[in-house]
Structure 1
Amino acid sequence: MLFITNRCPRQSIKTRIHRNFDFDLADNAAGNSVFFCERLGRDVYEELGSRRFLDRVAEEKHRQVLFYVHGGHRLPEDVFPLAESLQALCEAQEPDEVRVVPWIWPCDGDRGVVHEDWDDRASADLSGFAFARALQRLLYRRLADDGTGAGGHLPKPLSLLAHGLGARVLAESLHRWRVHHLPRGVPMLFRHVFLVAADLEDTALEAGGIGEDIGHVARQVTVYFAAEDPGLTSGGVHQVAACRLGHRGPADMGRVPRHVIAVDCDDVGRRHDLRREHADFHVGLSPAEPGVVFRHLFAALMAGRVFAEDETRRLTILREG
């Protein structure tokens, strides 16, 4: 499985093509370097470098790419099974359609759903510097210029799924991308951005909000939310607003871009929805069964857009069945 990471390796941070890449799990600092790699097996990784990595993405038979930014408290070998499960569900729905590519950012690996969205906030914020560089590499490739004069092209549709604190990683990455690389604003790089149980303020997508650039980088943004998500319902001593995007959706749909769609998941059963472990949002009654959220998300990937049930409110209510 191909992946992008800003977790530092035990080896030097200097890129060396085809070297072994071993995560230093004792180091949870968010590095400014970004690495383009492949997982060959459990705890076995190889660094490819950005050009070879993007060559692989472009040459693969899958017709589109879905980048997956995981939530908090996930070590690399916690993330890969989730990404593989997501990949397997995609293959079961439509073979060779979607290639899942995770972004691995530094988490401390502690367990507990209530703590999950708190302890890693600083790492999520600081990871923006590194992933901004990855976004710039993607843009170069989109423009048939990898930045080295060697050329190249990546014509496949690109989408991105951010879960939990992964939404904060995305927001900070886009902010740093704009500040350090694109002062005139970020381009529409992605067809879809899917925000699932996003750990961002419910005003984040509004003008001036931390996630304003999310609305600029995608043709369509879909926000999946559930009021009873256990990872998003308690601010406690951390003094963070309880009303967050993954908890109640955008605070005011009139203040977010018109291509933002809200999806209310409250009516979906506990075994099928965002509340289950705050991570297995994509599975149903068994790990091999697609959940309601996944089916909605995959239909959007296939159709190229999300259609709201209530066009006036730009809202869809997901239900069992």
Structure 2
Amino acid sequence: MLFATNRTPKESVRSKKNRKISFPVQKTRAASDMYFCERQGEDDYIEIGSLEFFARLKALPPKTQILLYIHGFNNTAEPDIFPNATTLQTLINKEKGADFAYVVPLIWPCDDDSLAAFIDDYWDDQKAADASGGAFARMLTKFDIWRNKEALLPKPCTRRINILAHSMGARVLRNAIAFWSRHDHAGQVPELFRNIFMFAPDVVNHCLEPGENAELIPNTARNILVYFANDDLAMPASKVANLKNKVVSRRLGMTGPEDLDILPRNVYEIDCDNFNNSVDTPKGHTYFLDNNGNGNATPALKHMLEAMDGGRVKPDQRSYELPKR
């Protein structure tokens, strides 16, 4: 499995192709650049470099889409991120076939503390998510440069790219797009992605509105799908944790966009209240995988895959209550 991360490695911070590389859980300082790697087994990673990374993605079967997976808070590589990515890949293969999409985890430096340290851990992860924006933006810049060179070739890479940002991963995405726009595109951004799927996004519910800090996200993709659930138990906890910084705001993953009518027409809200707690018992927060580990895709994942399949959101409603099925 290919992955990229801005965790600080145990080895030298200077990139070196084909070296063994490791990322201790205790090192949570965000690196300023991304390390492009291959996971060969549990805790067995090789750094391959950005050019090889992009070349391998190009070499996938012609119709295979890329799904970049940005994980949520309090997630670390082997206990959480890679198992979730593997499950996601297995479910996609089962629903759509082995060549439909290839999952690529994008890993940022989370803590992995006990439940007793939830608020401090949450706040540390927020800082890490903010600090990761620059590294993730530089990854986008590297890809942009590579893609522009590809466009001059007889057979350029035209692969469709999608993003799945879960929970605090939406904060990383928001910061990356803002940084990328500010430093590389004079305040604008290109439409680089096919779909952006924001599952239980742990950001304020008005952040996509004009003038707010995530206003450019709708410009980067054909479709922006916000999956939310009012009874997601992680969202009230997030709201409580944010009181430490004197921030009181409803979360996008709990209410959906505050005012959908003032957002660009490519933004959709998908209400997952009907099933989120039954497929991810009891939290109802990670409802983009399977039904409590039974190997069957959740309604939210099936909905996401249909949007990837045709490039259009079905049904054609900007606000939709997804049934339990």
* TM-score calculated relative to the size of structure 1: 0.92
* Residue number in structure 2 paired with 1:92: 94
* C-alpha distance 274-172 of structure 1, shift in aligned 2 (>3 A): farther
Contact in 1 for aligned 2:278/2:284 (Cα 8 Å)? no
**How far apart are 1:211 and its partner, in Å?**
1.1
Mark the runs of 5 or more structure 1 residues left unpaired by the alignment. none
1:215 equivalenced with 2:218 (yes/no): yes
Q: Please state if 1:47 is matched with 2:44.
A: no
Q: Match for 1:213: what amino acid?
A: L
Q: What letter corresponds to residue 169 of structure 2 in structure 1?
A: G
Match of 1:126 among 131, 152, 155: 131
Determine if the alignment matches structure 1 residue 240 to structure 2 residue 247: yes
Separation (CA, whole Å) in 2 of partners of 1:112 and 1:281? 23
Shift of 1:142: 2.6
Q: Does 1:270 align with 2:277?
A: yes
Q: Which amino acid aligns with 1:292?
A: P
CA distance in 1, matches of 2:217, 2:257: 13
Inter-partner Cα distance in structure 1 for 2:292 and 2:7: 33
Identical positions, percent: 35
- Shift in CA distance, 17/112, structure 1 to aligned 2, threshold 3 Å: same
For 1:298 and 1:171, the matched residues in 2 are separated by 23
Query: Cα gap change, 1:127/1:269 in structure 2, threshold over 3 Å: closer, same or farther?
Result: closer
Does the aligned pair in 2 maintain the 1:135–1:177 contact within 8 Å?
yes
Q: Which residue of 2 aligns with 1:72?
A: 73
CA contact (8 A) 2:205 2:249 kept: no
Q: Which residue of 2 aligns with 1:318?
A: 322
Q: CA deviation at 1:111?
A: 4.4
The Cα of 1:54 is off from its aligned counterpart by 0.3
Shift of 1:138: 1.8
Aligned length: 316
CA–CA distance in 2 between the matches of 1:219 and 1:273? 29
SS at match of 1:232: helix
1:283: how far off?
Answer: 1.0
Alpha-carbon distance in 1 for matches of 2:292, 2:81:
20
Structure 2 distance, partners of 1:64, 1:21, is 27
Q: Is the 8 A contact 1:232 1:242 kept in 2?
A: no
Q: Quote the offset at 1:2 in angstroms.
A: 0.3
Q: What pairs with 1:158-237 in structure 2 (closer than 5 Å)?
A: 158-234=161-237, 235-236=239-240, 237=243
Shift of 1:185: 0.8
Match of 2:140 in 1: 135
- For the 8 Å contact 2:74–2:111, the answer to whether it is kept is yes
Letter in 1 for 2:15: T
Structural RMSD (CA): 2.2
Alignment-mate amino acid for residue 14 of structure 1:
R
Moved more, 19-28 or 277-286: 277-286
**What's the offset of the Cα at 1:117?**
4.8
Which residue of 2 is the match for residue 19 of structure 1? 19
Which residue identity lines up with residue 85 of structure 1 in the other structure?
A: T
> What is the CA deviation profile of residues 53-92 of structure 1, one whole-angstrom value per residue up to 9, with x for unaligned ones?
0000000126110000000011111200000000000111
2:294 and 2:105 mapped to 1: Cα distance?
19
| Cα 1:165/1:190, change in 2 over 3 Å | same
Give the structure 2 partner of residue 63 of structure 1. 64
1:13 and 1:33 in contact (8 A); partners too: no
* Conservation of the 8 A alpha-carbon contact between 2:67 and 2:164: yes
Q: Write the distance in 1 (CA, Å) between the matches of 2:313 and 2:122.
A: 27
Structure 2: any 5+ residue segments left out of the alignment? Answer: none
Q: CA deviation at 1:274?
A: 9.2
**Kept after mapping to 1: 8 A contact 2:202/2:252:** yes
Query: Helix, strand or coil for the counterpart of 1:261?
Result: strand
Q: 2:149 aligned to 128, 144, 148, which one?
A: 144
One-letter identity of the residue aligned with 2:74:
H
Shift of 1:13: 1.3
| TM alignment of 1:293-308, pairs within 5 A | 293-308=300-315
SS at match of 1:143: helix
* 2:73 partner letter: G
Deviation at 1:34, TM superposition (A): 0.9
Q: Which moved more, 1:241-250 or 1:300-309?
A: 300-309
- Secondary structure at the aligned position of 1:101 is classed as strand
Task: Return the alpha-carbon distance in structure 2 between the equivalents of residues 88 and 94 of structure 1.
Answer: 10
Aligned partner letter, 2:297:
P
2:28 counterpart letter in structure 1: N
Structure 1 residues 175-227: Cα deviation after superposition (integer angstroms, max 9, x where no partner): 11111111141100000000000011111101111211211111110000001
CA distance in 2, matches of 1:267, 1:252: 22
After the TM superposition, which parts of structure 1 deviate over 6 Å for at least 4 consecutive aligned residues?
Answer: 149-152
- Alpha-carbon distance in structure 1 between the residues aligned to 2:281 and 2:51: 36
State which drifts further: 58-67 or 36-45.
Answer: 58-67
Report the alpha carbon displacement of residue 241 of structure 1 after superposing the two structures with TM.
2.8
Provide the residue aligned with 2:157 in structure 1: 154
